[in-house]
Amino acid sequence: MNMQKIVGIIRRIEDLGRVCLPIEYRRALKLFSDEKLEIVSDGEKIIARRPLIINGQIQLQGDLRKFDAKLGRLLIPSEIRKIFKLSTGARVAISIDGDELVLRPLYEQCVFCNSKENLLEFSEENICRGCARAISAKVAI
């Protein structure tokens, strides 16, 4: 079993609920051909993994979705997108935990104070104007 952990790439949800997986992650999980992955949610994150097969039978806890190896895209089921309120353009942080691909929704809020008002985007992160002013004041010293 692959026990590596890779964290830290942010992607946006594309049209039709697809997300493009980084090539490094596809290589790490050996996703080179079109195959079906099981997509499940635990309420905090979305997990994509190869389905468990016992005695020749697929044991599912979620939905099976085809992984498009040519373009590196995975379709997140609409039911899961609705639960997490993920629309086109929403951001998800993608990581690998063992043999599972983990997607964590990133909601539009300040990374420092969680404010949802007056947001600026800086280096793929949201910062409210108040925190930006506070940082700017500290840097100016």
How far is the C-alpha of 77 from the C-alpha of 102, rounded, in Å?
Answer: 15
Q: For position 116, what pLDDT does the model report?
A: 86
User: What does the block give as tokens for 29?
Assistant: 């999980």
How far is the C-alpha of 126 from the C-alpha of 88, rounded, in Å?
Answer: 18
Rounded percentage of the chain residues whose pLDDT exceeds 70: 94
Query: Mean pLDDT, the chain, as a whole number?
Result: 88
Residues 5-45 pLDDT 10s: 556 788 999 989 999 999 999 999 999 888 999 999 998 89
User: What does the block give as tokens for 138?
Assistant: 């500290």
Does residue 68 surpass a pLDDT of 60?
Answer: yes
Q: Pick 5-106's CATH classification: 3.30.360.10, 3.40.50.720, 3.30.1490.100, 3.40.1550.20.
A: 3.40.1550.20
**Cα-only R_g, the chain:** 18
Does residue 78 surpass a pLDDT of 50?
Answer: yes
Per-domain residue ranges of the chain: 5-106, 109-141
Task: With beta carbons less than 8 A apart as the criterion, state whether 95 and 28 touch.
Answer: no
Label residue 5 exposed, middle or buried (CB < 10 Å: 0-12, 13-18, 19+): exposed
Helix (H, G, I), strand (E, B) or coil at 140: helix
Q: What count of other Cβ atoms lies within 10 Å of the Cβ of residue 116?
A: 11
Mean pLDDT lowest among 30-34, 36-40, 120-124, 127-131: 120-124
Q: Which of 11, 79, 75, 12 is nearest to 41 (CA)?
A: 79
Global pTM reads: 0.73
Does residue 135 surpass a pLDDT of 50?
Answer: yes
Does residue 3 surpass a pLDDT of 60?
Answer: no
